[in-house]
Amino acid sequence: MKTRHFAQLVGLSALWGASFLFIRIASPVMGPMVLAGCRVALAGLTLAVIMRGLKQRWPWEHWRELLLLGALSVAAPFLLYAWAALRLPAGYSALLNTTAVLFGTLASSWFKEDTLTARKLLGCLCGFIGVGLIVRLGPVQPDAGTIAAALACILAAACYGCSTPLMKRATTRMQPLAIAAGIHLAAMVLVFPGAVWAWPQAQFTPAALGALLVMGVVTSGLAYWAHLRIIRHVTPVAAMSPAFLIPVFGVTWGHLFLGEALSPGIFAGGALVLLATALVTGFNPLRRWFAATPTP
């Protein structure tokens, strides 16, 4: 992976880590359905304006593919994470999001984009054990609501992971900007009825509106466009590498700005999940350093 792409992925990690903080702020006030609907609408509007400015055409002929990608990579995760934020701290959701790499690796193998090995299977096992530690030993009481919210996060991560190899294939037929705009438009169609139904119960505080604005324009619209541009040049598994750092940023932002508690369960489970993603992707930051170190 080129240094430029790696730096861009680190930047995306910081943005997406912060998105869990913003979801935690806005979802209890606006409600999950309204938050997801407004977030998708803002992202779609932002990308549509950029499409217009760059004079790019909409890929209407691929509407079925865009509808599937919009459901998997936008509509379902946005709703699931917004609902989970009613019960889970932002750091929890960010840590559980790391399982997207595990699901993505399995999906890439299924679609013949990658090869499944014993090391990767061991990584999957470590990942699921780590998730169990996060839920069981963290500062949040592991009751039925917590477990349901954790499962919602894992399902959202599975949607992200399964959609990544499909995104990679889509970039061979469409421009990244067109894909990003198209999937958000498709997602808006899917979440719009629920958002309209829940609108009367929503509240719009300045903090919630500010969080929504950042999520819609930056962490959804612009970030998805940037991610799709990177996907064109790297493997699907490498494209999911922001999951390595998202928990670091997510836990940090949640602790600093929301006062979310830290516990041994988060550290132990998070370490296992990160080890799992390293095993699954073969990520080893020391390998290149040792290779470049001259021997006496």
Q: In this predicted model, what pLDDT tens digit does every residue of 167-184 receive, in sequence order?
A: 988 999 999 999 999 999
Instruction: Note if the pTM is more than 0.85.
Output: no
Q: What is the mean pLDDT of residues 194-206?
A: 95
More confident residue, 41 or 267: 41
User: What's the rounded Cα separation, in Å, for the pair 146 and 96?
Assistant: 13
Average pLDDT estimate for 268-276 = 74
* Confidence at residue 201, expressed as pLDDT on a 0 to 100 scale: 94
d(CA 4, CA 133): 35
Other Cβ atoms less than 10 A from the Cβ of 2: the count is 10
Question: Mean pLDDT over all residues of the chain?
Answer: 82
Q: Which residue has the tokens 């370490």?
A: 271
Residue 38, pLDDT > 80, answer yes
Helices (H), 98-143: 100-110, 118-137
16-33 per-position pLDDT tens digit: 878 888 999 999 999 999
Residue 234: DSSP 8-state:
S
Structure tokens at 217: 């324009």
SS3 208: helix
In this structure, what token pair is assigned to residue 59? Answer: 């890929």
Task: Give me 153's structure tokens.
Answer: 């996060």
Can you state the angle between helices 100-110 and 144-170, rounded to 10 degrees? 40
pLDDT digits (tens, 9 = 90+) for 59-106: 999 999 999 999 999 999 999 999 999 988 877 788 788 888 778 877
C-alpha 247/C-alpha 175 separation (Å) is: 30
What pLDDT digit, counting tens, does each position of 114-134 carry? 666 787 778 777 877 876 776
